[in-house]
Amino acid sequence: MLKFPKWFFDWNEENPTDLIGPGILAGTVASAVVFATIIVAYDNPNETVDVQTGPRGIGMANSKFVRDNTQFDVFEAEYPVFERVEVPEGTPTAAEAYGDSVVAFGDMDQANFDQLQKAMSAWTGTDVVLYDNGEVDAATLATAKSCVELTQYLNDDWDTHNLASDGIGVNCYTCHRGEPTPPGAWFKAGAVNSSAEGWAAIQNRLLVGNTYTQSEYSSLPVDAVEKFLLDGESIKVHDLESRVDQQPGDPTWQDAERTFTLMNHQSNALNVGCVYCHNTRAFYDPTQVTPQWSITTLAQQMAIDVNQTFFAPRSEELGREVGKMNCMTCHMGVISPLNGRNMVAEWPELAAPAQ
């Protein structure tokens, strides 16, 4: 057995050493090294992306955790791509092959016409036929024709927003996402019952059947997109006059609450905050907004135009309401739908003016 000499114990008694302090220090340093190694190897799990939208110091910034991947459109990975096919010279056009019943793209060669029908069927989750093949009725053909015209209209007349000329644009998949009814479509709220009117008819309601609720799970009015993006009523909320003496039911109050609903809808549709468009120091002043405010205002006008030009008349023709568009219909929770993918690259005919 090893036996230490007496002087060793005497020296330790005369020179006591604090082992706890150095141990804690060594442990802290080692932990910091391990933590730093993990961050370097696997990236910072709490990293944020900060977007400055206005003057500094007044909250004009949007901050998001990178791990949440909040501006990534997951549908883009599921997008079915249909390439054009090579055809020999002399291949007949669709109109030559299928006759006068072709409702769109009659001057396209038959092979690519068939390929585009397959693409549109995959994009919409339903069989799309662009000519009378003996199995479709007139209403189905009219719907297909209307959808083609709508796509071309969005890419041509509203290119300033959809940027088809800059290699983005829209096609059937932008809204449908592989489903017959676009998951972001909306329908009129309607009254709860025949005797309901005013606030009782449109507030404190959760619309069943809408993938994205119009009131965003709040007690705000559920008819905001109908009033603003279909009827085209004025969107405004800030009034410098006092409303204290007026009773609930005042149209100005109700329109103000509808505006709050619309703003919530737009924020959720793009997954952004108020400062994406507005300046927090003066929400009411249009001279102090961000550039995104102009883009959003243009998009609102586009939605009104498309709803009034295509969807409202189509509802009357069919005798039933069809789904209409708002911001969520295309954006689906991100600023750039489908991660900015070129949706007309393979089929530029979808960006051409309707003939």
Question: What are the pLDDT digits (tens) for 62-112?
Answer: 777 766 667 889 999 999 999 999 998 889 999 999 999 999 999 999 999
The reply, when asked if residue 327 is annotated as ligand binding, is yes
Identify whether residues 97 and 244 lie together within a single domain. no
**Other C-beta atoms lying within 10 Å of the C-beta of residue 98:** 19
The reply, when asked if residue 278 is annotated as ligand binding, is yes
For residues 269, 177, 339, 158, the Cα torsion angle rounded to the nearest 10 degrees is -70
Identify whether residues 203 and 110 lie together within a single domain. no
The reply, when asked if residue 176 is annotated as ligand binding, is yes
Is the model's pLDDT at 26 over the cut of 60?
yes
Rounded percentage of the chain residues whose pLDDT exceeds 70? 80
Identify whether residues 190 and 312 lie together within a single domain. yes
Domain-located, residue 43 = no
pLDDT per residue as tens digits for the range 276-309? 999 888 887 888 898 899 999 999 999 999 999 9
pLDDT per residue as tens digits for the range 169-217? 999 999 999 999 999 999 888 766 666 676 667 777 766 555 556 666 7
Identify whether residues 127 and 236 lie together within a single domain. no
The reply, when asked if residue 265 is annotated as ligand binding, is no
The reply, when asked if residue 147 is annotated as ligand binding, is no
The count of domains in the chain is 2
Q: Specify the higher pLDDT residue, 15 or 155.
A: 155
Model confidence at 245, in pLDDT bands (50, 70, 90)?
A: low
Identify whether residues 232 and 301 lie together within a single domain. yes
- Residue 355 confidence (pLDDT): 56
**pTM for the full predicted model:** 0.80
Print the domain residue range for 100.
Answer: 80-171+348-355
